[in-house]
Amino acid sequence: MLLLSTRVLPRGGGVSQAVSVWDDGNHPRTLADLFKEIQGRDVLLVTHGFSVSQAEGETNLGGWNTGLTLGDVAVLGILWPGDSRWIPKVDYVVEGNEAMASGKLIADFINNNFTDALSISFASHSLGARMVLQAVGGINRTIRTLFLMASAIDNTCLNNEFSAAVSNVQRLSVIASRSDDVLKWAFPTGNFLGGLISRGTPYVHEALGREGPVSPYPANLHTGWQIPDEWNYGHENYLPETNPISSVMAAIVDFPGLEPTDKPSWSAAVVGGRFSEP
């Protein structure tokens, strides 16, 4: 798995001045390696969320990738400096700046280097949604599919802050859970502070990754987004903590269904199924 990185340090640190290319063995790779991987292929770029080091991001994304059933699709990871620099789970209101700066870098990099890709799609976890939406808004071609999992961002963003980015997407899919305690407790507090010192408005909104989007819904939005409450699907259940994940599920499009025994496999199955929809 090739990785695009906007990091300057393995842990903490800020955003680099340019995107670098790595493999999952921590070896630097060239643009020629990247071109060979993506030429003439559908590409899915996947990213992690807040408070994730480089090593943790590699594990999360590499492990989750093993659960995808996509056929001949080039899956690339994006590593960005979402590490907590001061107080874990609270200073994400400032880390949002890192997400947006990374998104701008990724957009420019894709515009300059992905001309030969057949299509481009994104999947994100947590605060990675802000990074990806920022990138999508700056990419000069239509995005095939966008998946937003457990998004730590206002549930008004799709028809407000990032409405222009959403209009650049053919198919949009949100996955949310009311059992997400990180978004239940940390997000509203941080969001209020973020409105005061960073961006948005100084009001407490629900997280997109907990309650799903507010109406009016974008026309390209998939109708199924709320995970059944009884599944107790938490913030850390979307991506695996070990590499690889323990099982691979057949691709699915709609839920609810039976509660999965391996939750990261389930999230990969949903992305795989919806990616492959005609």
Closest CA to 41 of 114, 124, 150: 114
Confidence of residue 190 (pLDDT cuts 50, 70, 90): very low
Output the CA torsion sign for 196, 200, 202, 207.
negative
pLDDT above 90 as % of the chain = 72
Tell me the pLDDT tens digit for each residue of 56-80: 999 999 999 999 999 999 999 999 9
Tell me the pLDDT tens digit for each residue of 109-148: 999 999 999 999 999 999 999 999 999 999 999 999 999 9
pLDDT of residue 184: 81
* Boundaries of every domain in the chain: 2-275
| Position 33 pLDDT exceeds 90 | yes
Give me the chain's average pLDDT, please. Answer: 88
| Position 201 pLDDT exceeds 50 | no
pLDDT of residue 204: 53
Average pLDDT over residues 76-93: 67
Tell me the pLDDT tens digit for each residue of 266-277: 999 999 999 998
pLDDT of residue 85: 55
Q: Which of 9-13, 113-117, 130-134, 228-232 has the lowest mean pLDDT?
A: 9-13
Helices (H), 44-161: 54-65, 92-113, 128-138
Could you give the strand order of the β-sheet that contains 169-175, starting from the edge strand earlier in sequence? 15-23, 2-7, 73-79, 42-47, 119-125, 143-149, 169-175
pLDDT of residue 145: 98
Within 8 A by CB and 6+ apart from 160, the residues are 154
| Position 82 pLDDT exceeds 90 | no
| Position 193 pLDDT exceeds 50 | no
The whole-model pTM stands at 0.91
- CATH number listed for the domain at residues 2-275: 3.40.50
| Position 87 pLDDT exceeds 50 | no
pLDDT of residue 157: 92
pLDDT of residue 94: 40
Average pLDDT over residues 247-263: 89
Output the CA torsion sign for 86, 90, 95, 99.
positive
Confidence of residue 185 (pLDDT cuts 50, 70, 90): confident
HSE, side-chain direction, 13 A CA sphere, residue 49 = 25
